[in-house]
Structure 1
Amino acid sequence: MAFAAPDFLASLRLFVDAYEGSRQRTVMRAPDVFEFYARLFCAPTLSRDARAMVNAVLAYFVVPEDVMPEADFGPLGLMDDLFVAAHVYRILRRELPTELLTAAWQGDGPLDETMDHIYTDARAEVGKRTKDALRMAGLSG
């Protein structure tokens, strides 16, 4: 019996594909952002500290009961995941070579501009729960 490997990225694309609601432009970026972090995870030159942050982002994406559960919020529930991802990106862009980051980015548009937009939009949506999201991801005390 052949088994099909689970494909979280494909599932994520399907989940947001028909979304037409609040923060649509940002929500639709979730698959690109997840893929970016999955590619960074595979980079052999990633430092231990950077790898820990990348792991935190990837783990936060797949945890079902996070600050804004997708089961309760639908695709809009990805906003806390995107906030965590954009927050970590702001740290990584100061610590990692630009070439490493841009090589991992396969999405449309410039990486910095895209992540800045995601950060602003996601932070506004998540509101006072941003600290809860970072704490849950293991990124703050």
Structure 2
Amino acid sequence: MHGEKFLEEIEKITQSYSGEYSLLINNTSNLFKLLSNAIDEIDLEKTLRLKTLAVLGYFVLPNDLYPESELGAKGYIDDIMALIHVLKMIELEYDISSLTPLWEGTENDLQEILGVEFKKLIQQESILYNELLAYLDI
């Protein structure tokens, strides 16, 4: 259980989003669930476990660097960056095959999100990405 009401609220905001970064934003709750599942199902080494917990905690902060209360669905961009950043670390350490069974979307979406979409996001939003990494110390 991942706080079903919390995730339902996120899905209400993000599922119908159709602007820039729509694949990422439409999968916000799936990315949160994936990282939550990873911490439960993969024997993460201590440092990576702590980074995962930091990102999950950041996700629930109401007044983060890019607040949803002001920006709507696009306000999840910083949370998504943090989630994917740590998922990429897990992928490098344990391989994509450790994440695929934990993902609730399609395998193609996961590969696209962790690859092309994340690369595009951090290139276009590099200042926010660097601020986020410094803020979270990850």
Report if the CA contact (8 A) 1:80-1:122 is conserved: no
Aligned to 1:114: 113
Q: Percent of aligned pairs with the same residue?
A: 23
- Alpha-carbon deviations, 1:78-106, whole Å to 9, x = none? 11111112222222112125442222222
Shift of 1:47: 2.2
RMSD: 2.1
The normalised TM-score by structure 1 is: 0.81
- Alpha-carbon deviations, 1:59-94, whole Å to 9, x = none? 121112222111111100111111112222222112
After TM superposition, the runs of 4+ consecutive aligned structure 1 residues lying more than 4 A away are none
Q: Report the number of matched residues.
A: 135
Report if the CA contact (8 A) 2:78-2:129 is conserved: yes
Structure 1: distance between partners of 2:125 and 2:76 = 10
Aligned to 1:103: 101
Aligned to 1:43: 41
Residue segments in structure 2 that go unaligned for 5+ positions in a row: none
Report if the CA contact (8 A) 2:100-2:107 is conserved: no
Shift of 1:44: 5.6
From the CA coordinates, give the structure whose radius of gyration is larger: 1
SS in 1 for 2:62: coil
Q: How does 1:26-41 map to 2 (within 5 A)?
A: 26-41=24-39
- Richer in helix (by share): 2
Report if the CA contact (8 A) 1:86-1:116 is conserved: no
Q: How does 1:1-141 map to 2 (within 5 A)?
A: 7-43=5-41, 45-110=43-108, 111-139=110-138
Shift of 1:16: 0.8
